[in-house]
């Protein structure tokens, strides 16, 4: 029947039930569409559009927190070319695994500032692959099953779930098992990516108690586990996992099948339209995009249940773990309940507090804590002397305010049923005022939490192969810098630089010595030696397909390119769009054995991604026949470089231009040969017979028959350290033979105002060229192409950072280019800015790092027709990326096609 428009009701008041035919209700899904009261005789309350709480008088406000208002979101530019092009997201979120898949956390301070409840905007996200796309019109028809060891298997829709079952709403904190993993990765690389301390969020979830569903299905004798499977199709099947059946049936555990988050239909990243939500357990058990609930006698055999969310014994290394299938299947190592953990949010990383001679002032330290399995955090302790003495901090429990709700109170269509529960589902907050006089004299502030089973956070880290459940004391270092105190957190998330752990490790400290890397008087130098890097497993243990040479060669074109590394075959199709080296890097490798180049060039993170793209192995016979010419020395072609073949040139001179940098000049086989390298691209260089010694370079000049390459020399720091390519090059006699291969890269400067990015034309009116050290070489190449063409109107701002003045490479050439521009009658096209971190007394230029203040001053917010080119050390590139890609209200907003990293 049709229903008249209901009157408005406050969110904490139940509306009397009325007849409501869901199938005839208009299909528009708004925030209030699911605000049904408790069902009665199969009927539900009609939709209620809620007033905003701040518009009500004091008497209508509930006794518990309501969620902050979400921001209006849009699809971000970086997502447009991914399978998630339909998902709206907040640009403040920090991406932990590149553009796709979407794994993010909020800036720690922003997360804390939202309070007890987290909006969907800043709630952390853990996605293993593409987000399933579900239209609003399909939400109520979404079907799932309850099957397996049950007497009454069920297939139902979300509409049935809403009509036929009691609805509940309560706050639940979800935590990724990888929260704080960056700390483990700094000590020793795990198989997981680098979460900071914001892999935790809290929301109000509305849905149906899982136990109610299972009770109707009636589990049979022998049923012990419940397996959940989502709709997200991944390389190893659909994501799935299981928990114990008695947990699922226990109402005190609060496990629910949820369709609303903070009163709104689920956001796509959070499982739209239906998910499992499990309080007190790791987020990996709360399966999103729910399709199947299966009652079983054994734990799930899903690949993701076995090879994810485990804490293996600490002595098992990443490479050894690949050969231990029985260890992975051992349920003793599976993670369910969260362990007790905490973090400091204020002061933030690098926050400064002015001293100003005040002796009796103080600073309020603040942060969060949580426990698992329904336990309560009962104690927060703070130490200023590295654990010798402790002070109790204050703890607040906003969750307890929901226990004050009146009987049968309804929020967002579900009963707020916490009054009878002893279990705790949520995080709490702690604070402590510490006098500045005490902070001035302390080296650090450490915190630890204890739960009601008297389990306390440990002092030391338990390192494990997946980097899960990291919960040692959270330590913030204090730097007394005269007029102010500066605070330093352990790490920063993802690839963002910073934190005392990275600093200590770079200084040679041993982070596992139980004193946070501080050198002990009886500690030998050998104890601080960094463990040698070990090879990462790049194969999928479930893949056993044998591929013939004929099959491989069917994929040697630009469509679905396959390539071989160490005898294993990988499908490079997914790399074509987002590969940092451009699609040409993948296409050039098609149907080839590229083991040497791949292993020499790629990072541990890149190698760790390879199991996702592993499709089989090359048969022994095919591998023996897969032979490519090692090099080409004949000057028979007019273009020297070949993208698939190493070509030989002669090293004819080495010219020092700084204490650790030289220009290596090479002669091509024929004086009439051109190099064949487009502006903005680079080439591989190797010494014949030196396996694994390969690096990519951008020549600073090339003419017919000749090429000049600027190379910074990195000598071994100890007599036992193996020499790298640059040191080996420095030792070569003149003449010697070197081999080159290329071109490769995703960026090309074609002609005035025209670039190509991954073969797509892009118009440019202005370049911001940001570089440091030898990163000047690709910048210099593009700068010369622009400024040597009098007709080119493209403007260039070069921002070049170094340590000391003698480290500025190609300074004479750069100054000449800038001086020539000053003479142009129509105005200069080039602005040249040098900045030094350790300037001498005579230095007149800018001082300091290429940091946020520098970039805000010299680059500013994203501009139409402008492009940023970046090349330099990893730390500098990460810092630039973090500042320029910050899309928040105060951010600069660069990204996508206007931000290129060489």
| Known binding-site residue numbers | 176
Q: DSSP letters along 136-155, please?
A: GGGSTT-EEEEEESBSS-EE
Give the Cα-Cα-Cα angle 96, 181, 99 (nearest 5 degrees): 10
Q: Catalytic residues, which ones?
A: 176, 308-309
Q: DSSP letters along 54-74, please?
A: GGS-GGGS-SS--PPPPPP-B
Give the Cα-Cα-Cα angle 303, 304, 307 (nearest 5 degrees): 80
Strand partners, 201: 174
Task: Report the alpha-carbon distance of residue 533 to residue 135 in Å, rounded.
Answer: 47
| Polymer length of the chain | 902
User: What's the gap between Cα 171 and its chain centre?
Assistant: 26
Which residues 6+ apart lie within 8 Å of 25 measured at CB?
3, 46, 47
Number of H helices, E strands in the chain: 21, 45
Q: Could you tell me the CA-to-CA distances from 886 to 87, 494, 848, 895 in Å, in that order?
A: 19, 14, 21, 9
**Which tokens belong to 449?**
């939490």
Q: For residues 271 and 290, is the Cβ–Cβ distance under 8 A? A: yes
Binding site per annotation, positions for Mo-molybdopterin: 176
Which residue in the block uniquely carries the two structure tokens 């022998």? 222
Which residues 6+ apart lie within 8 Å of 243 measured at CB?
225, 226, 255, 278, 281, 285, 336
Q: For residues 756 and 765, is the Cβ–Cβ distance under 8 A? A: no
Task: Report the alpha-carbon distance of residue 58 to residue 10 in Å, rounded.
Answer: 12
Q: Count other Cβ atoms within 10 Å, centred on residue 358.
A: 11
Which residue in the block uniquely carries the two structure tokens 């030792």? 731
Q: Phi/psi at 213 (nearest 5 deg)?
A: -65, -45
Q: Phi/psi at 566 (nearest 5 deg)?
A: 55, 40
Task: Report the alpha-carbon distance of residue 163 to residue 45 in Å, rounded.
Answer: 10
Q: Phi/psi at 815 (nearest 5 deg)?
A: -65, -40
Task: State the burial class of residue 788 (Cβ atoms within 10 Å of its Cβ: 0-12, 13-18, 19+).
Answer: exposed
Task: Report the alpha-carbon distance of residue 264 to residue 412 in Å, rounded.
Answer: 8
Task: Report the alpha-carbon distance of residue 220 to residue 224 in Å, rounded.
Answer: 9
**Which tokens belong to 375?**
């336990």
**Which tokens belong to 202?**
């809290």
Residue 473 carries which DSSP code? Answer: P
Q: DSSP letters along 66-103, please?
A: -PPPPPP-B--GGGTTSTTTT--B-TTSEESSSSSS-E
Q: What share of the chain is helix, strand, coil (3-state, %, to 5)?
A: 20, 30, 50
Task: Report the alpha-carbon distance of residue 343 to residue 475 in Å, rounded.
Answer: 8
**Strand ranges for 313-424 from DSSP E:** 341-346, 352-354, 362-370, 377-383, 391-392, 394-396, 410-411, 414-415
Q: Could you tell me the CA-to-CA distances from 866 to 753, 822, 871, 897 in Å, in that order?
A: 10, 22, 17, 10
Task: State the burial class of residue 660 (Cβ atoms within 10 Å of its Cβ: 0-12, 13-18, 19+).
Answer: middle
Task: Report the alpha-carbon distance of residue 809 to residue 657 in Å, rounded.
Answer: 7
Q: Phi/psi at 54 (nearest 5 deg)?
A: -70, -10
């Amino acid at each position: 029947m049709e229903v008249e428009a209901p009157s408005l009701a406050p969110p904490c008041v139940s509306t009397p039930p009325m007849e409501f035919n869901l199938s005839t209700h208009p299909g528009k899904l708004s925030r209030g569409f699911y605000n049904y009261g408790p069902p009665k005789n199969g009927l539900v309350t009609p939709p209620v559009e809620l007033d905003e709480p701040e518009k009500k008088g004091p008497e209508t406000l509930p006794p518990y927190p309501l969620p902050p208002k979400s921001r209006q979101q849009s699809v971000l530019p970086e997502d447009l070319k991914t399978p998630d092009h339909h998902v709206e997201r907040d640009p403040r979120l920090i991406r932990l695994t590149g553009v796709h898949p979407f794994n993010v956390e909020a800036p720690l301070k922003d997360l804390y500032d939202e309070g007890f409840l987290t909006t969907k905007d800043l709630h952390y996200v853990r996605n293993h692959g593409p987000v399933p796309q579900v239209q609003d019109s399909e939400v109520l028809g979404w079907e799932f099953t309850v099957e397996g060891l049950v007497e009454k298997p069920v297939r139902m829709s979300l509409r049935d779930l809403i009509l036929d079952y009691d609805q509940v709403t309560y706050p639940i904190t979800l935590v990724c098992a990888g929260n704080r993993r960056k700390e483990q990765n700094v000590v020793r690389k795990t198989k997981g990516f680098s979460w900071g301390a914001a892999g935790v969020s809290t929301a109000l979830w509305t849905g149906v108690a899982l136990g109610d569903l299972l009770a109707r299905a009636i589990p049979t004798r022998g049923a012990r586990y419940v397996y959940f499977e989502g709709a997200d199709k991944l390389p190893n099947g659909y994501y799935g996992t299981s928990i114990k059946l008695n947990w699922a049936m226990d109402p005190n555990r609060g496990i629910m099948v949820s369709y609303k988050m903070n009163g709104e239909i689920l956001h796509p990243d959070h499982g739209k339209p239906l998910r499992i939500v499990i309080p007190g357990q790791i987020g990996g058990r709360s399966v999103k995009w729910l399709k199947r609930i299966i009652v079983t006698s054994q734990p799930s055999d899903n690949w993701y249940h076995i090879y994810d969310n485990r804490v293996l014994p600490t002595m098992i290394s990443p490479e050894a773990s690949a050969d231990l299938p029985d260890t992975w299947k051992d349920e003793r190592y599976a993670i369910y309940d969260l362990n007790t953990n905490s973090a400091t949010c204020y002061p933030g990383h690098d926050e400064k507090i002015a001293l100003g001679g005040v002796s009796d002032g103080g600073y309020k330290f603040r942060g969060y804590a949580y426990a698992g399995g329904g336990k309560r955090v009962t104690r927060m302790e703070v130490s200023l002397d590295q654990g010798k003495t402790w002070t109790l901090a204050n703890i607040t429990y906003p969750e307890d305010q929901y226990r004050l709700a009146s009987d049968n109170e309804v929020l967002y269509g579900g009963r707020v049923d916490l009054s009878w529960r002893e279990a705790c589902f949520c995080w709490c907050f702690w604070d402590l005022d510490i006098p500045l006089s005490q902070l001035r004299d302390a080296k650090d502030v450490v915190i630890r939490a204890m739960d009601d089973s008297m389990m306390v956070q440990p002092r030391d880290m338990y390192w494990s192969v997946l980097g899960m459940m990291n919960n040692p004391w959270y330590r913030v270092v204090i730097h007394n810098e005269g007029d102010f105190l500066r605070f330093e957190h352990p790490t920063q998330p993802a690839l963002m630089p910073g934190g005392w752990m990275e600093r200590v490790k770079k200084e040679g400290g041993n982070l596992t010595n139980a004193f946070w890397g501080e050198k002990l008087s009886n500690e030998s130098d050998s104890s601080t030696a960094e463990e040698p890097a070990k090879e990462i497993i790049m194969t999928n243990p479930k893949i056993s397909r044998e591929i013939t040479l004929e099959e491989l060669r069917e994929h040697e074109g630009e469509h679905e390119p396959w390539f071989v590394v160490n005898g294993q075959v990988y499908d490079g199709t997914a790399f074509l769009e987002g590969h940092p080296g451009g699609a040409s890097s993948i296409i050039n490798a098609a149907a080839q054995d590229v083991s040497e180049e791949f292993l020499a060039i790629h990072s541990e993170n890149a190698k760790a991604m390879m199991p996702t793209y592993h499709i089989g192995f090359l048969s022994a016979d095919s591998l023996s026949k897969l032979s490519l010419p090692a090099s080409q020395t004949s000057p028979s072609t007019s273009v020297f470089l070949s993208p698939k073949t190493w070509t030989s040139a002669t090293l004819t001179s080495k010219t020092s231009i700084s204490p650790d940098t030289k220009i290596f000049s090479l002669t091509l086989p024929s004086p009439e040969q051109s190099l064949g390298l487009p502006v903005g691209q680079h080439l591989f260089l190797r010494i014949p017979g030196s396996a694994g010694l390969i690096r990519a370079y951008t020549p600073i000049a090339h003419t017919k028959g000749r090429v000049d390459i600027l190379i910074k020399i990195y000598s071994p720091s100890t007599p036992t350290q193996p020499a790298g390519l640059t040191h080996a090059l420095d030792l070569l006699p003149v003449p010697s033979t070197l081999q080159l291969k290329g071109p490769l890269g995703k960026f090309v400067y074609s002609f005035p105002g025209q670039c190509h990015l991954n073969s797509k034309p892009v118009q440019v009116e202005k370049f911001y060229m940001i570089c440091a050290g030898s990163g000047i070489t690709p910048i210099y190449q593009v700068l010369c192409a622009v400024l040597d063409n009098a007709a080119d109107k493209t403007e260039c701002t070069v921002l070049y950072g170094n340590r000391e003045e003698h480290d500025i490479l190609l300074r004479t050439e750069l100054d000449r280019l800038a001086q020539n521009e000053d003479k142009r009658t129509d105005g200069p096209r080039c602005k040249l800015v040098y900045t030094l971190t350790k300037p001498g007394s005579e230095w007149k230029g800018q001082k300091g790092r290429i940091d946020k203040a520098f970039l805000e001053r010299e680059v500013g917010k994203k501009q139409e027709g402008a492009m940023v080119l970046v090349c330099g050390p990893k730390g500098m590139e990460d810092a630039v990326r973090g500042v320029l890609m910050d899309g928040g209200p105060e951010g600069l907003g660069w990204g996508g096609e206007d931000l290129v990293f060489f």
